[in-house]
Structures are given as structure tokens and as C-alpha cells.
Structure 1
């Protein structure tokens, strides 16, 4: 009997060529973002919605069924980001402007952002991935009785340390609540900390929550960097 040898991993190193800074991964990310921006711009919002219509229908059905099966119970997870060189107030001021008037900045923060648009009733329409599912949902309910859950959430952090808080229900067009969000921001000696909590129906597979925690890390990192660039 012969011993099976484990193949050595294959690696590729950039030895020479490009004179600018960055790794091959950095180059690929730049070109991927440029290509994605081109497709988004050419298709436009309605073109994206038409293209993804079947995916959205399937994704929303998944969320609706998950919410009904969970009977109002949710599983939560939190992504924490630490920022240096920018205050929470500076970042949130940029966010307020972007959410009011700059969909392109919001879309650019994640490859799986398709629509981020305010509605006439004060809610906000988001089309993005929830786990592997493309979904169209709304955020809203700020300052209403529907947000009472946020005052008792176990993830709620001390007001003295995290004074900037936002909470929202995530709901479908028919009103079915399919998730929640609680974001909290507090200044540090040289920047701020962001505590980003998402709630998904308990019947969802574990990878749905895991991937949204990763989603948070990508989009908020990029929004923070965009806020810093706008200030400079």
C-alpha cells in the first residue's frame, strides 16, 4: 500500500511588471468594480429590476416563508468595525446625505447592491442579497411602536458609549416583517466603533446570517472609506 501524497498548494507571486502599488487581488478588485459600475450604469434601476425579477420573486418567497415558519422569532448576529481617523458624527452626516440623494454611493459599497431608494412614505427600498437570495424589501418604522423591540434588545449597548443608534424593521411590500436591523456607533479616542446587528427569521439556514454579517463588513467598510474621502 502506497502513501498518498498531499499535493503542494499552488501559489503565484507578482515579481515584476506593474509599477503602481497593490497586489494582484487589488488589481482584480479594481477591474471588477469598474465592470460592475459599467453594467449598473448601462442597465439603470429599472433594467436591473427587470433582469432580476425572477430572482426577486424567488428570494421574497423564501423570506416570506421563513418569517411565517419562524412565527415572529429572529436569530441575531453582530459585525463590529473599528475605525481610526474619522468620528461617528462625521460618518453619519455623510450617510444621511447619501441615503437622501446619492444612490450611486450606496450601490458602490457592495457588489450585491442593486437598488437603494427612498419611498414617498418615508420607508427605504433595498434590493440586495440576503444570503444567496436576491430580495426586495423595505426599511422603516423609525420612532414608531413597531420599534419597541429595539429598546429591549439584548444587543443594545450603553447610551453613554454608543449614543448614535438606528433601528428598523425589514419588511416586504405586503407588510410581512422578514428581519430587523440595529446599528450603533460610538466614538473612541482616535475614531469610532460600529456595532452592526442583523436579525433574520430563526428558520433561515445558518449561512444566511453568516453571509449578511460579511455583507455588513463589506458595505460599511466601503461607506466609511467613502465618507473619509468626501471629507478630504
Structure 2
């Protein structure tokens, strides 16, 4: 018997696996957006209330330890500068915030903060937290890289109550061709190691999409 293989054709033209996967992913995001829009914020919170409690408890209990660990991802961007991206990013509507990652359930922007329901580190179910965008941290002194002068910083607290030791600490540096980005979420150290490691992939996925959406929005004007 021959080795398993698929040869797909549409309108007489061969369709390669990558093209098919891209189309599948596109339709999956459309289905997710319909699902999230239909349920709404209230419906999503009710549907996942047990998972939210479990994830919130995990983050809260881990935050009783004073040690930190970073989940870092680096991006080299050409064709767009830091200010262009940040200005566009801060004007994204919720559907674009959803579109950045399949595990973004709610990203509800308010003045100076966002309510977020997402699965952190591809681990377990979603948690529900609020991120406050700040100029600097008042109770935390992270080792910023002085070569990356522009920052997107966020203090995070659980909506169920209580500030946790989890912070957004993204740094940007313009280059001749675009920018370098150091993405970083600081976590309590005693969370599961796979959760920390997988959140590096979460950052890569969401910022790949946000950066692409921002670039397309800028050049559509």
C-alpha cells in the first residue's frame, strides 16, 4: 500500500497544504467571531465561569510568592515605526483585539485600561483580568533595557478581586527599517513552567496579528 497523501484540486488547480491551512484558519476566526458576538460578554463569562475561577485561583495563589519570571518574545519589524504602531493599536476596536488570538474572548477597552478574558499561556481555561496602562510601575522595578526607550506597560489585577504579580512590559526601539520589539509578560515564578513557556507563543501569535493589522490600517488610509 502507498504512503498516505492528499492531492487536492479546485477548478483544475492544485491546492498546496499551506494555502489550505491558511484558508481553514481564516474560516476558524470567522466562526469564533460569530460565536463571541452571539454570546456577548455576559454569555461568555457565564459559559466559562468555572474555568475562570480555576484560572483566577491559580494566578492569585501563585502571586503570594515574591519571585518573578519573564515570558519574552522578540520581533524585528520592517516597514513600520513604533509611534505608528502604538497610535494605531490604541484605537483598535474589540473585534481587532479578538482577531489577534483564538483565545481572546473579551478585550473591552475603557479609558486607560482594558478588561480581558483570555487563556494565559495556553494553559487550562480563560481567566478574567483588568490591565491598567501606566507610565511606570509604582511597586515594581523591572530591569528595563535602556536601548529600548519606548514602552507599553500594564499593571494587572483580577476582576474577581486583587492585584496579582503579573505585568505587561513591552519595549520598543526604532531602527532604520522599522523597529525592534521586546515583548514581555512578568509572571509569578511558581506558576507551571509550561504556562510561562507557552505564553511566549501567545505573545508571538497576538503581536504578529496586531502588527499586521496595524500596518494594513496605516496603509489603507
Q: Same fold (TM over 0.5)?
A: yes
Q: Does 1:87 align with 2:81?
A: yes
The equivalent residue for 1:130 is: 120
Greater strand share, structure number: 2
Structure 2 unaligned residues grouped into runs of 5+: none
In the alignment, which of 59, 63, 70 is matched to residue 63 of structure 1?
A: 59
Q: Is the 8 A contact 2:94 2:109 kept in 1?
A: no
Q: Is the 8 A contact 2:108 2:116 kept in 1?
A: yes
TM-score w.r.t. the length of structure 1 is: 0.83
What is the CA–CA distance in structure 2 between the aligned matches of 1:141 and 1:84, rounded to whole Å?
Answer: 26
Change (3 A) 1:80 1:29: same
Q: Secondary structure at the match of 1:109?
A: coil
1:202-221, aligned counterparts within 5 Å?
202-221=189-208
Q: Is the 8 A contact 2:33 2:95 kept in 1?
A: no
What is the CA–CA distance in structure 1 between the aligned matches of 2:183 and 2:55, rounded to whole Å?
Answer: 23
Higher Cα radius of gyration: 1
Q: Give the C-alpha shift of residue 76 in structure 1.
A: 0.9
The equivalent residue for 2:153 is: 167
Q: How many residues align?
A: 212
Q: Is the 8 A contact 1:114 1:127 kept in 2?
A: yes
The equivalent residue for 1:30 is: 26
Q: Give the C-alpha shift of residue 118 in structure 1.
A: 3.2
TM-score w.r.t. the length of structure 2 is: 0.86
Structure 1 unaligned residues grouped into runs of 5+: 1-7
